[in-house]
Structure 1
């Protein structure tokens, strides 16, 4: 068979899924893990703000505090879809580089904020990247990892990324009474995130573009070179279908694309009411229950060990269970745990329920992201996952604007009742309308 015949007949999936995990795969996983580290750590700053700024000496009024907590999500509404479109057009790697660069600049600026409004603006600009990084990383890893190892390796990457909030929250708790060099602890948190993002920027510079994306653009020779670096085939083999321009897709393909996009946009809008609402406002809930700031940061810090444990455990079973089954089970578990947290008063229950809730989030959110990435072919994966993430940004923006005033006016139980309602609705929609996932199977 001639080289050209191979180019036209052999599926790229059989080539990408062929290599064993090698040193370059491991470096890519470490790079994405560090990226998720700064992403989750930056978002955890919202939990720090909701705790510190709900009590003296700050005691920021609820309307302004809600705006501060929502600022990063506002940025994500714009940043995620723009990054997804650009990632499909110009590549995954350039957009991962841009996201890290934005976080470096905005985090340094946030650390130097002279007033609350400037801080809100910097958080919104940072959100342009923070909202884009997780779906971009998911699209990149889905493109490049072998199907039989994709789920566990992505969950391991997520588990390492979830170390970010733990480190940041305990750093702030340790530095709050010290204020080294006269600089407030939350400013040190931003400085630390900027440094980590800069290291990630340097690491991302050394990773390749994905062979699937290169093949989809007809750049088969470059795709073959990347496959050789990954330890796979030495030639530029690609699937004929992947070199077809996106506009050449048939009507039925476009109809399926639009149906799945509509499904994911609705699902992603419901996701942050639990996955963002609980981490963001758990500190404010504790302060509302009469817990001191230092103890609140301790409880929140302990609870953030949950995602690390949850992501590691999920890695062993993620490709065994159907994605939809996992998502519905997690949603039901969060609904029960959230209501329990709303009623709890004793420290051991607050820490235990918070730890368990965050553990389930660590399973739930990555599975949502992987599930979304697997529903679309390479040519549309970046924009589909990022557009969906923009819908999550809208929901995440409404979370503090809705739930924080509700918490402060009527208490934690009604607030968690709203969260439970969104989880029930999510479960019904996924169970009735969700397409089957691709656990353990090759991505298109």
Structure 2
């Protein structure tokens, strides 16, 4: 019996040594062990898998603007509507998507906190792929908008889950770069969907409207769902937060063993464990230090959406309004779309060197200047050049705030808190799409970009005055 106990003690000591734990397993030690991991292939593989999921998500999210001319051409939608909130136009289609995103983020963001990052990542993807497939076969505005709403719910949940998942798996020294890589891969969906739209939307291959082909091709993501699920571990931080410390230790130990083999030497010792928020609920978002952060992010999301989607979803229609043909506008936007993944790729160089808030403020200022100039030019070269600048600025903002907002809340409420603040961007997009349609009709393209410039000015004020610093800090230390 003594020898059996001795063997058990030896095995336990070996496990503790392999994992780097020095004082038993608790929530703080799990986080400290994660944060000390070097950037080996095993870590980047996790980033890649989540990035591929983000690619398909952005494909489904951003095809809206590119298929809009095709929906008008087919007679299902109209470019503008007689009333401010008419549902028969492009604005109604955009509003349906963002209404679904709003419900998905504000009402369903808690799902990843309750059931885990891995499960919700998988099932929300299946949800929106199925809804988009049904939407393809709609011939009226009502059916089209309803299924776009249902699809938006799944995309909304997925957006929150991927950001939460990635922030918890990436060690703190490469969190910004991990988001930059994720967004670089994700935003390659933009030139791809733009090019497919250029090829397909003006035509009807095999008698099926081109816009329907663009939507159907996005459904290929369903083929990858189970592959993603099989190769992604659950977040050790989430498991530890649920009190499932043995499972968290087992998942992390397997990852540590793989990383150590690739690293070629013993892993560095974990740093001191920062205090972990033990229990949080929705009400904690409105208590210090989170209250100020919540207010800041709500204001930020209300106005940043106008700048991002005001250009991304409307650029083909804006160009047509300026007298450019449908085919030429789609060609221009295809070229502009090539810049989409370059924004976060350029941001990779600064992601973990400069404060996120400072990057957001600077790029918002670039957006204002480039947008106002874009509204005044007519030559193809100027349109493409300024379109590229707008795309780069917007996507650097995007990867920066996706990293930033995930850092500002504790693990226990990260998904639901980010879902809540993020949902305001969806609600903003619902109403701003109608306002942009109205502004386009009454004040032209210049009026639209003046409206966008005002919104981005408020982004600068909110983030610049209220945003805390997070660079190089652990998630746990930022939460206190």
Same fold (TM over 0.5): yes
| Match among 45, 48, 52 for residue 63 of structure 2 | 45
Counterparts in 2 of 1:21 and 1:410: CA distance versus 1, 3 Å: same
Counterpart mapping for 1:328-407 below 5 A:
328-407=361-440
Q: Does 1:245 align with 2:279?
A: yes
Counterpart mapping for 1:84-233 below 5 A:
84-231=109-256
- Partners of 1:248 and 1:5 in 2: how far apart? 32
The SS at the match of 2:384 is: helix
- Partners of 2:349 and 2:389 in 1: how far apart? 18
CA contact (8 A) 2:51 2:182 kept: yes
CA contact (8 A) 1:97 1:204 kept: yes
Deviations 1:36-56 (A, max 9, x none): 212221222211233334568
Counterpart mapping for 1:256-271 below 5 A:
256-271=289-304
| Match among 278, 293, 296 for residue 326 of structure 2 | 293
Aligned residue number for residue 98 of structure 2: 73
Unaligned runs of 5+ in 1: none
Q: Does 1:304 align with 2:329?
A: no
Deviations 1:195-243 (A, max 9, x none): 1244145313431110111111111111111112322699xx9969548
- Partners of 1:168 and 1:97 in 2: how far apart? 23
Counterparts in 2 of 1:48 and 1:10: CA distance versus 1, 3 Å: closer
- Partners of 1:204 and 1:8 in 2: how far apart? 26
Aligned residue number for residue 265 of structure 2: none
Deviations 1:134-191 (A, max 9, x none): 2221111110111111111210111011011211121121123542221111111111
The SS at the match of 1:275 is: helix
- Partners of 2:254 and 2:311 in 1: how far apart? 42
- Partners of 1:415 and 1:100 in 2: how far apart? 33
Q: CA deviation at 1:102?
A: 0.8
- Partners of 1:388 and 1:201 in 2: how far apart? 30
- Partners of 2:319 and 2:183 in 1: how far apart? 27
- Partners of 1:73 and 1:443 in 2: how far apart? 29
Aligned residue number for residue 4 of structure 2: none
Q: Which is further off, 40-49 or 73-82?
A: 40-49
Q: Which is further off, 28-37 or 290-299?
A: 28-37
Aligned residue number for residue 425 of structure 1: 458
Aligned residue number for residue 8 of structure 2: none
Counterparts in 2 of 1:239 and 1:253: CA distance versus 1, 3 Å: farther
CA contact (8 A) 1:216 1:242 kept: no
| Match among 28, 32, 39 for residue 14 of structure 1 | 32
State the number of aligned residues: 440
- Partners of 1:359 and 1:28 in 2: how far apart? 25
- Partners of 1:56 and 1:425 in 2: how far apart? 38
CA contact (8 A) 2:27 2:241 kept: no
CA contact (8 A) 1:303 1:351 kept: yes
The SS at the match of 1:7 is: coil
CA contact (8 A) 2:66 2:194 kept: yes
Q: CA deviation at 1:368?
A: 1.0
Pick the structure with greater CA Rg. 2
CA contact (8 A) 1:216 1:378 kept: yes
Unaligned runs of 5+ in 2: 1-11, 17-21, 82-87, 261-269
Q: CA deviation at 1:404?
A: 1.5
The SS at the match of 2:287 is: helix
CA contact (8 A) 2:285 2:291 kept: no
CA contact (8 A) 1:67 1:401 kept: yes
- Partners of 1:35 and 1:176 in 2: how far apart? 25
Q: Does 1:31 align with 2:42?
A: no
Q: Which is further off, 178-187 or 355-364?
A: 178-187
Task: Report the RMSD for the aligned CA atoms in angstroms.
Answer: 2.6
Deviations 1:331-388 (A, max 9, x none): 1000001101111111111111111101111100111111111111111211111111
Q: CA deviation at 1:6?
A: 2.4
- Partners of 1:298 and 1:58 in 2: how far apart? 23
- Partners of 2:57 and 2:397 in 1: how far apart? 17
